[in-house]
């Protein structure tokens, strides 16, 4: 079976996206998905996304990690699939879609995509680290000299030793200025550092505000793959009106046979 796919990237977080409105993609074939995502023997990607029909929304988003397993919400993936939906003519400049963590709104302005994330009402501060869920579970820790920090080994250790088999994504952060932070992320499912993580930088922005490392409600996050912005409103119950903002770019299309 030939599978038409599109390769996307959002600040270096890269995805294979497939239009599955005909429901023909073999969704339970974990080995196939992992093979397609393999950087040596496949297309190469941090994950695979299916765009599917939805009864009431513009579309449904199904996301798989590069290990072939269904995953929690992917923020950069949500921005990329919005761009893809516009490319297909499903939407004009506004979208409402469903992902594994519920409904999302998004908008397109050229190659800049704004994605509304779900409200966050619980942040757990444990000494120097913060844990929260922004559609995916995230651990956030401030460090010095992020450029030489051992993200892979320390991220892998924290991912399993603190959070067990299910694990969590692990973000290491260095403050650049009042409203600018540098971020590097170890992602579960990928089991490696990625160039960017949308739910990760969202978690970092909220965690830095919660721990008074910033008072700004619009924060710039510098990742190895580029810059993202996170805008939000702090309330008595937590954080609302959370938007992840940044580029989404179609790189190429192809046929997998």
Q: Is residue 146 located within the same domain as residue 192?
A: yes
From the list 167, 168, 204, 163, the residue with the least C-alpha distance to 183 is 204
Q: Is residue 131 located within the same domain as residue 41?
A: no
Mean pLDDT of 25-40: 97
Cβ proximity of 72 and 81 under 8 Å: no
Q: pLDDT digit string (tens) for 61-115?
A: 999 999 999 999 999 999 999 999 999 999 999 999 999 999 999 999 988 999 9
What amino acid positions are annotated as catalytic residues?
74, 197
Q: Is residue 146 located within the same domain as residue 226?
A: yes
Domains identified in the chain, total number? 2
Tell me the pLDDT of the chain averaged across its residues: 97
What CATH number does residue 181 fall under?
3.10.310.10
Tell me what pLDDT residue 103 has. 97
Helix axis angle for 75-88 and 198-210, nearest 10°, is 130
Q: If pLDDT is split at 50, 70 and 90, which confidence band does 1 have?
A: confident
Tokens of 48: 């695979």
Q: If pLDDT is split at 50, 70 and 90, which confidence band does 141 have?
A: very high
pLDDT at residue 127 greater than cutoff 90: no
Q: Is residue 52 located within the same domain as residue 101?
A: yes
Tell me what pLDDT residue 80 has. 98
Q: If pLDDT is split at 50, 70 and 90, which confidence band does 176 have?
A: very high
For residue 42, the enclosing domain spans: 3-117+248-256
Q: Is residue 53 located within the same domain as residue 112?
A: yes
Q: Is residue 107 located within the same domain as residue 164?
A: no
Q: Is residue 168 located within the same domain as residue 86?
A: no
E strands, the chain, are: 3-10, 13-19, 47-52, 59-65, 94-99, 102-109, 112-117, 123-126, 129-133, 137-142, 169-177, 180-187, 192-194, 218-223, 226-235, 238-247, 249-256
Cβ proximity of 247 and 109 under 8 Å: no
Q: Is residue 40 located within the same domain as residue 128?
A: no
Q: Is residue 33 located within the same domain as residue 107?
A: yes
């Amino acid at each position: 079976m030939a599978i038409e796919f599109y390769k996307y990237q959002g600040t270096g977080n890269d995805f294979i996206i497939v239009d599955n409105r005909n429901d023909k993609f073999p969704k339970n074939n974990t080995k196939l998905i992992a093979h397609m995502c393999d950087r040596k023997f496949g297309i190469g990607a941090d994950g695979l996304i299916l765009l599917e029909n939805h009864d009431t929304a513009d579309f449904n988003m199904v996301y798989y990690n590069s290990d072939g397993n269904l995953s929690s919400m992917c923020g950069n993936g949500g921005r990329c699939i919005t761009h893809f939906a516009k490319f297909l003519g499903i939407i004009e400049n506004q979208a409402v879609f469903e992902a594994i963590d519920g409904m999302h709104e998004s908008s397109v302005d050229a190659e800049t995509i704004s994605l509304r994330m779900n409200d966050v009402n619980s942040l757990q501060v444990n000494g120097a680290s913060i844990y929260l869920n922004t559609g995916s579970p995230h651990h956030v820790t401030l460090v010095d000299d992020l450029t030489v920090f051992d993200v892979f080994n320390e991220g892998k250790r924290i991912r399993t030793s603190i959070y067990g088999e299910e694990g969590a994504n692990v973000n290491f952060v260095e403050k650049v200025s009042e409203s600018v932070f540098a971020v590097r992320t170890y992602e579960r499912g990928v089991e490696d550092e990625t160039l960017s993580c949308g739910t990760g930088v969202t978690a970092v922005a909220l965690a830095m505000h919660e721990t008074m490392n910033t008072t700004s409600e619009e924060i710039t996050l510098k990742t190895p793959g580029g810059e993202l912005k996170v805008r939000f409103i702090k309330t008595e119950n937590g954080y609302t009106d959370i938007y992840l903002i940044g580029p989404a770019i179609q790189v190429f299309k192809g046929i997998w046979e």
